[in-house]
Structure 1
Amino acid sequence: MHGRELHGLLHPFLLLLIFERAGHGYALIDRLKAMGLPDVEPGHVYRVLRGLERERLLISGWETAGAGPARRCYQLTAKGRDDLRSCLAGLAQLHQVIGAGLQRSADAFAGSPGANPYAASRR
């Protein structure tokens, strides 16, 4: 997938990661990479985090404990949990639609010798 398709997933995935465990920006970026989003630009992640905070889905505060500079730590609000539930319901519906499309494509390609519908095409 390309970055632009994945950008729309940052909102729900950041909410999910913060729901699991509060965190600061770079830790969240590392956790996004572990979810399969390896090429996320830090600047974009921070813009999304600020937007989620403006919408009152997150709150943040400075964490000064430990070595190194202070870091902004993000936590989910009750409104953020409600938004996450809504996002997850939409993603579950999208999952069903994509699954149906992938099954149709696999069925359509089944008769083609050596054809893999999921292989990237060469132009």
Structure 2
Amino acid sequence: MTVHGSERRGLIVPVLLLLLAERPDHGYELLQRLRAFGWSDCDSAGVYRVLRGMEKDGMLASSWRASETGPARRRYEITPQGAMELALWFLRLGELHETLHVFLERYAQLPTAVPARGTGVPGTGRRATRR
């Protein structure tokens, strides 16, 4: 059973808010910057739909900007409402981080724990180190 794709999709809004809090950007550049979060093959049409929905909900504002190398491009920036939403996501994800940490540590203690792919430490995603 593989559900990690849908779990990651559930994080697209806070990740886009974070990227735009770092700096306003165009859609294409946002797609490139999403790679750092594991979206190497994201659906660009889907990301643009999310951006439009976020703008409709007041989290983002956009404007058309002339480009030196082609047609005008839409530039997105976070609004004060989006910044508040990002802060709420920070709190929620912090709580989730704690839960996941406890889960991974307890799983690693099971005598039957299966190591995560490519790691030496069961379930943690960390490489084994010698002490």
Give the TM-score of the pair, scaled to structure 1: 0.87
Match of 2:116 in 1: 118
Comparing both chains, which one has the higher relative contact order based on Cα–Cα distances under 8 Å and sequence gaps of 6 or more? 1
Which segments of structure 1 move beyond 3 Å, counting only runs of 4 or more?
none
The CA deviation at 1:117 is 3.2
Match of 1:104 in 2: 106
Which whole-Å CA distance do the structure 2 matches of 1:65 and 1:5 have between them?
Answer: 35
Match of 1:23 in 2: 25
* 8-17 or 39-48, which deviates more: 39-48
Match of 1:74 in 2: 76
Asked if 2 retains the 8 angstrom alpha-carbon contact of 1:105 and 1:117, the reply is: no
Match of 1:10 in 2: 12
Q: Which runs of 5+ in 1 are unaligned?
A: none
Asked if 2 retains the 8 angstrom alpha-carbon contact of 1:19 and 1:76, the reply is: yes
Give the TM-score of the pair, scaled to structure 2: 0.82
Q: Which runs of 5+ in 2 are unaligned?
A: 119-131
Identity of aligned residues (%): 42
The CA deviation at 1:36 is 2.2
Match of 1:40 in 2: 42
